[in-house]
Structure 1
């Protein structure tokens, strides 16, 4: 689930938000200007794409830069939300 989520995020950044990806993209790459280049509007678009694709909720306060400083942390948050949704669905 981790790799699939990571690839979806990078595809959205590259193909929908139209930001060029750096030559080397590892999990320690920051989300902001010095990394993926996601500013506030781009981040909103990415979150909307993720929520639509996976049926999850990603509140803005859970995505503060201090909590989610890089690509790896962001992927982990999305994977955790997907897993919680799957677990919640299985429990019903």
Structure 2
């Protein structure tokens, strides 16, 4: 495996796994009061654009890592939007 593939896979792994503690905490507690809605809207949008970029450039580490992050951040965003409506 080439160095750039190793770096890409490791970076995707670290950034994706870094989201797990927040996602688990939010899913368990369903508490998003301390989370910024504008930040999560921008973050989820940015992750979606990274997925598009990865697809356009056939970069599997970018695609896979960001799909997982998109799902986790999307769950948190859904909880936040639900709290805002309440």
Q: Which has the higher helix share?
A: 2
Relative to the length of structure 2, the TM-score reads 0.35
Decide which structure has the larger Cα Rg and report it: 2
Q: Highest relative contact order (Cα 8 Å, sep 6+), 1 or 2?
A: 2
